[in-house]
Chain A
Amino acid sequence: MPSLIDFRRRIRSVKNTQQITKAMKMVSAAKLRRAQEAVLAARPFANMLGQMLGNVARAAAGSDAVKELPLLQPRETVKTAVMILVSADRGLAGAFNSNVNRGAQKFIQDQPGVTFEIESVGKKGRDYFRRRGFAISGDHQNFSRKPVYADVAAVAAKVSQRYAAGEIDAVYVAYNEFKSVMTQRLQVEQVLPVPLTESADTTEYIYEQPAEVLLASLLPRYVEVELWRSVLESTASEHAARMTAMDAASRNASEVIERVTLQMNRVRQASITREIIEVVSGASALK
């Protein structure tokens, strides 16, 4: 039977943990708001750029100069591919990290015969894949604290260059898409060769510059912006996941405290009752 002191200790320890989880929840909530604004602000540009790219590519389809653009050329056989894995640098965010890690791993396993390299954004993803013996072609950290466009653009430039040089045959990105505070969904998207959306709509454009010149400048930017959006989505998802996880943990702690307090009171009551019985029986024995 644990003594009263044991109960008090237990309660104090759970309370301390609860204070930490509460603080982390508050911090995440504040960061989430900023991250959420950043995602919402970045979406229009990414969408518009994708549409513009699709329009130009459609209108200019068939031209040989366009087919020769390295970032558009698909490979006949894909042997090596790069998976850009956007995870968090820290844990304690519920299923956030294991979600991307496992999702990306499944995606890789579904493509036997393709050697994947991991270009990791975030420490947790890197650790996971390094333990499993994958080649890590790049390791980037501290993106999610305050995402900087230039950092992300550097990663985009690196993979684009490797793709154009023929070192790699495809590039994918895996990240948690920010649906809402409660839901984040895993996304695995193809980055290179740049996927073009098919549509019957063909608008005839007046080109100030030849289509291939426009495409040549749009494509690298598109890769950058896709990655930028992934990083922002992931950042917002990370804070949302952490906030939800910490909220659950705080609530759980309250439950534990309640239960232990109840047990403690019962034990205390029992000992008081026992003492009274002892006193009473002692007194009656004297009569």
Chain B
Amino acid sequence: MAATFELEVATPDRLLVREQVTDAEAPGRNGYLGILPDHAPLLTELAPGVLTYTTSGGKRSVVVGGGWMEVLPTGVRVLATVAENPNEIDLKRAQAALDRAEQRLKESGEMDIPRALAAAERARARVAAAAQFGR
């Protein structure tokens, strides 16, 4: 059995994951980060994207809609503003949200650009995850 560390993924309304994993890959604000056991303590903001990790039962993934990740000597904690299992995603709804966000960005005007951009980013992550892992 390879070395493992504890991965916790929490959102304001639930604890989504608490498992022993052998590796994890998280969507950092500056690009994806791979975490292996005994990683140095690290703190980063997370961008919307797919968090993948390997347990004894195989590869798993969850979609996070942004948040923070803290790598501690004892394990990895992900605090996500939103997080879902890929099979919980409503692909149609996510696709619709993505279309809507892109539409808004095209029209721009006095729209709230950062907000629309963030919405588009979140929707894109959901769509990608649903297409890749869902069903």
* Chain A residues engaging chain B, CB cutoff 8 angstroms: 38, 41-42, 44-46, 48-49, 52, 55-56, 149, 203-209, 213-214, 217-218, 221, 224-225, 228
The verdict on B40 contacting chain A, using a C-beta distance below 8 Å, is: yes
Contact A203 B12 (CB under 8 A): no
Question: Min CB distance, A25 to chain B, in Å?
Answer: 27
**Besides A42-B14, A203-B73, A214-B68, 16 other A-B contacts (C-beta < 8 A):** A38-B13, A41-B14, A45-B15, A45-B79, A48-B77, A48-B79, A52-B68, A55-B43, A56-B43, A205-B42, A205-B43, A208-B44, A209-B29, A209-B44, A214-B45, A224-B12
Question: Min CB distance, B75 to chain A, in Å?
Answer: 11
Residues in chain A near residue B41, CB distance under 8 A:
203-206
Contact B43 A44 (CB under 8 A): no
Question: Min CB distance, A35 to chain B, in Å?
Answer: 12
Contact B10 A209 (CB under 8 A): no
Residues in chain A near residue B44, CB distance under 8 A:
207-209, 214
The verdict on B30 contacting chain A, using a C-beta distance below 8 Å, is: yes
Question: Min CB distance, A198 to chain B, in Å?
Answer: 19
Taken together as a complex, chains A and B put the C-alpha atoms of A204 and B126 apart, in Å, by: 34
Contact B40 A221 (CB under 8 A): no
Question: Min CB distance, B10 to chain A, in Å?
Answer: 4
Residues in chain B near residue A55, CB distance under 8 A:
43, 70
Query: Which 3 residue pairs across A and B have the least CB separation, nearest first?
Result: A208-B44, A45-B10, A41-B14
Contact A203 B72 (CB under 8 A): yes
Question: Min CB distance, B53 to chain A, in Å?
Answer: 17
Taken together as a complex, chains A and B put the C-alpha atoms of A218 and B45 apart, in Å, by: 9
Contact B14 A209 (CB under 8 A): no
The verdict on B28 contacting chain A, using a C-beta distance below 8 Å, is: yes
- Total number of residue pairs linking A and B with CB closer than 8 Å: 71
Given A214-B45, A218-B68, A221-B81 in contact, is the A206-B14 Cβ separation under 8 Å? Answer: no
Contact B15 A208 (CB under 8 A): no
Given A41-B13, A45-B11 in contact, is the A208-B42 Cβ separation under 8 Å? Answer: yes
Main secondary structure of the interface of A (DSSP, over half): helix
Question: Min CB distance, A124 to chain B, in Å?
Answer: 25
Taken together as a complex, chains A and B put the C-alpha atoms of A225 and B29 apart, in Å, by: 22
Residues in chain A near residue B45, CB distance under 8 A:
208-209, 213-214, 217
Question: Min CB distance, B72 to chain A, in Å?
Answer: 7
Taken together as a complex, chains A and B put the C-alpha atoms of A205 and B43 apart, in Å, by: 6
Taken together as a complex, chains A and B put the C-alpha atoms of A46 and B15 apart, in Å, by: 11
Contact of B79 among A52, A203, A206, A208 (CB under 8 A): A52
Residues in chain B near residue A225, CB distance under 8 A:
12
Residues in chain B near residue A56, CB distance under 8 A:
43
Residues in chain B near residue A46, CB distance under 8 A:
12
Question: Min CB distance, A55 to chain B, in Å?
Answer: 7
Taken together as a complex, chains A and B put the C-alpha atoms of A41 and B28 apart, in Å, by: 25
Contact A52 B70 (CB under 8 A): yes
21 contacting pairs across A/B (C-beta < 8 A): A41-B14, A41-B15, A44-B10, A44-B15, A46-B12, A48-B70, A48-B79, A55-B43, A56-B43, A149-B13, A203-B41, A203-B72, A205-B42, A205-B43, A206-B42, A208-B45, A209-B30, A213-B45, A214-B45, A224-B12, A228-B12
Residues in chain B near residue A52, CB distance under 8 A:
43, 68, 70, 77, 79
Residues in chain B near residue A206, CB distance under 8 A:
40-43
Give residues of chain B (55-90) contacting chain A, Cβ–Cβ below 8 Å.
68, 70, 72-73, 77, 79, 81
Give residues of chain B (25-51) contacting chain A, Cβ–Cβ below 8 Å.
28-30, 33, 40-45
Taken together as a complex, chains A and B put the C-alpha atoms of A149 and B14 apart, in Å, by: 12
